[in-house]
Amino acid sequence: MSSSAPNAVLSVSGIGKTYAQAVLSNIDLTLRRGEVLALTGENGAGKSTLSKIIGGLVTPTTGQMLFNGRAYAPGSRTQAEELGIRMVMQELNLLPTLSVAENLFLDNLPNHAGWISRKQLRGAAIEAMAQVGLDAIDPDTLVGELGIGHQQMVEIARNLIGDCHVLILDEPTAMLTAREVEMLFDQIARLQARGVSIIYISHRLEELARVAQRIAVLRDGNLVCVEPMANYNSEQLVNLMVGRELGEHIDMGVRKIGAPALTVKGLSRADKVLDVSFEVRAGEIFGISGLIGAGRTELLRLIYGADGADSGTVALGSPAKVVAIRSPVDAVRHGIALITEDRKGEGLLLTQSISANIALGNMPAISSAGLLNASDESALAQRQIDAMRIRSSSPDQLVSELSGGNQQKVVIGRWLERDCAVLLFDEPTRGIDVGAKFDIYALLGELTRQGKALVVVSSDLRELMLICDRIGVLSAGRLIETFERDTWTQDELLAAAFAGYQKRDALLDEAAPRDTL
């Protein structure tokens, strides 16, 4: 066994896992004390499965593990945690109806003769949250009321409480804002200095390069390399992960841009979205860029009727006809779809098959006189599985058995078959591997060729620059500037993203002039 490696904390050898098919084969890997080991690979490559084996959630079919030189075969997550091997899972694991504090200390509530001390709990929670920079959140808040990024931070904070020798972070930043990512990186550095070993899973190459010393790449359940991070530049990393060249460009195909399909006028809500107007034509991709909190998701939610606007109108078609959208049901009836980043909130039914989930939004297409046609349902699902390369054994496979990125593809697939003229995408490629991203771009191109109008919100500027015909920049709730394809540069887009805040600060200064100056 490879336990003889210097500073080995954990070593796995010959680890394999077989469900209906083999998903991991013969993995040999050693984790060193105080290192950050990046683990990467395509959606469905087996990253989460390997983590769950180490974290005690999944029993391997073959192989052994050693922890600090002793045989290690955890029977449960609790057993692994007792030894200080902890894991932040890709899917959130919190109880939404309990408070932040209760979620943090679920396993060991501070108590006195059987009574939970509220005050003690609160104090401990504040301390734990400060560690991850969440000191602004009241620990009595119910977790369900927090945004998804904050929930992720609570999950991370929970795992930093108590003894921790090995920490597995499975896509920890997929839902975090830039500031939260920085907090997490600070934490990682601190843990590392204490000798904690970390396995860091992510599809974001720039993060891996920043945080990890070594990189391990899985492809189809096999470990294809374990090497020092410094041996690779980002292009080589992509090739390594995907096993094919992707290049910087994508051909979105020949597209015809038609008449206006969506016309938004003066849309406002509180201080989040301020007087936003724009137009998207059939066959066009309109990107929305901006900093976190600029109002991008809020804007999409207003158009979709998920929140009510204070003022403004949404009109469809050409000539534009104003439609009353008071709820998502109205939106869907008018042919507007919203595809969000929140898989669970999106109503993905984990205990149902891929075909059932894809069919969910598409009843009219596969039922006649109210009867569901199972073979049509299957054919529909198979079409999406092929189009998006959803890694699965069949359309009947349960969604809960899919990897995280492949679940995301099912969410998208559900809407693609629907007859919607306007599709709103909020961070469509989060958690999706680099290769699959290009599949999704191709799919967006296909939608535009069908004459649909697309609005895409993304934090990834390069992504927007790659796929959009125009990019509007939101800043402090206002649509500051709109750029046409080929007239933008990354710097100009960034400058616009900040512009609204400077303007707002200037106005505030005017309203309340300072004594000095």
Nearer to ligand ATP, 46 or 477 (CB): 46
Q: Phi, psi (5° rounding) for residue 321?
A: -120, 120
Nearest to 154 by CA among 179, 191, 184, 193: 184
Applying CB under 6 A, the span of 43-51, 246-254, 308-316, 475-483 interacting with ligand ATP comes to 43-51
Q: What residue 49 binds from ligand ATP, Mg ion, none (CB within 5 to 8 A, per partner kind)?
A: ligand ATP
Residue sitting closest to ligand ATP (CB): 405
CB 28 within 8 A of CB 14: yes
Q: Please, what's the b/e burial string for 53-87 (b: 16 or more CB within 10 A of its CB; e: otherwise)? A: bbbbbbebeebebbbeeeebebeebeebbebbbbb
Q: What residue 150 binds from ligand ATP, Mg ion, none (CB within 5 to 8 A, per partner kind)?
A: none
Contact between 202 and Mg ion per CB under 5 A: no
Q: Please, what's the b/e burial string for 301-326 (b: 16 or more CB within 10 A of its CB; e: otherwise)? A: bbbbbbbebeebbbbbbeebeebebe
Following DSSP, what letter does each residue of 357-417 receive, concatenated? HHHHT-HHHHEETTEE-HHHHHHHHHHHHHHHT---S-TTSBGGGS-HHHHHHHHHHHHHT
Residue 338 C-beta: closest distance to ligand ATP, Å: 22
Nearer to ligand ATP, 214 or 409 (CB): 409
CB 42 within 8 A of CB 241: yes
Other C-beta atoms within 10 Å of 372: how many? 12
E strand or H helix at 490: helix 490-511
Nearer to ligand ATP, 201 or 288 (CB): 201
Residue 259 C-beta: closest distance to ligand ATP, Å: 39
Contact between 55 and Mg ion per CB under 5 A: no
The residues that bridge with 167 in the sheet, in sequence order, are 86, 198
By CB under 5 A, the residues from 32 to 51 that bind Mg ion are 47-48
CB 58 within 8 A of CB 80: no
Nearer to ligand ATP, 23 or 216 (CB): 23
Q: What residue 378 binds from ligand ATP, Mg ion, none (CB within 5 to 8 A, per partner kind)?
A: none
User: How many residues lie near ligand ATP (CB under 6 A)?
Assistant: 19
Which of residues 11, 187, 406, 429 is near ligand ATP by CB under 6 A? 406
Nearer to ligand ATP, 47 or 269 (CB): 47
Q: What residue 41 binds from Mg ion, ligand ATP, none (CB within 5 to 8 A, per partner kind)?
A: ligand ATP
Residue 23 C-beta: closest distance to ligand ATP, Å: 3
Following DSSP, what letter does each residue of 149-161 receive, concatenated? HHHHHHHHHHHHS
Unique residue bearing structure tokens 């060193």: 32
Applying CB under 5 A, the span of 82-90, 378-386, 412-420, 488-496 interacting with Mg ion comes to 82-90
- Token pair of 84, please? 């200080």
Q: x/- contact string, 365-404, with Mg ion (CB under 5 A)?
A: --------------------------------------xx
Q: x/- contact string, 419-448, with ligand ATP (CB under 6 A)?
A: --------------x---------------
Applying CB under 6 A, the span of 38-46, 247-255, 277-285, 502-510 interacting with ligand ATP comes to 38-46
CB 44 within 8 A of CB 52: no
Which of residues 11, 25, 30, 90 is near ligand ATP by CB under 6 A? 90
Q: What residue 281 binds from Mg ion, ligand ATP, none (CB within 5 to 8 A, per partner kind)?
A: none
What span, in angstroms and rounded, lies between the C-alpha atoms of 426 and 410?
Answer: 15
Q: x/- contact string, 49-68, with ligand ATP (CB under 6 A)?
A: x-------------------
* Type of residue numbered 292: I
Provide Rg for the chain, Cα atoms.
Answer: 24
Q: ∠ CA 325-151-499 to the nearest 5 degrees?
A: 65
In eight-state DSSP terms, residue 83 is T
Q: Helices (DSSP H) in 21-147: which residue ranges? A: 47-54, 77-82, 100-104, 118-131
Nearer to Mg ion, 165 or 203 (CB): 203
Q: x/- contact string, 366-405, with ligand ATP (CB under 6 A)?
A: -------------------------x---------xxxxx
Q: Which residues bind Mg ion (CB under 5 A)?
A: 47-48, 90, 403-404
- Interaction site with ligand ATP (CB under 6 A): 19, 23, 41, 43-49, 90, 391, 401-406, 433
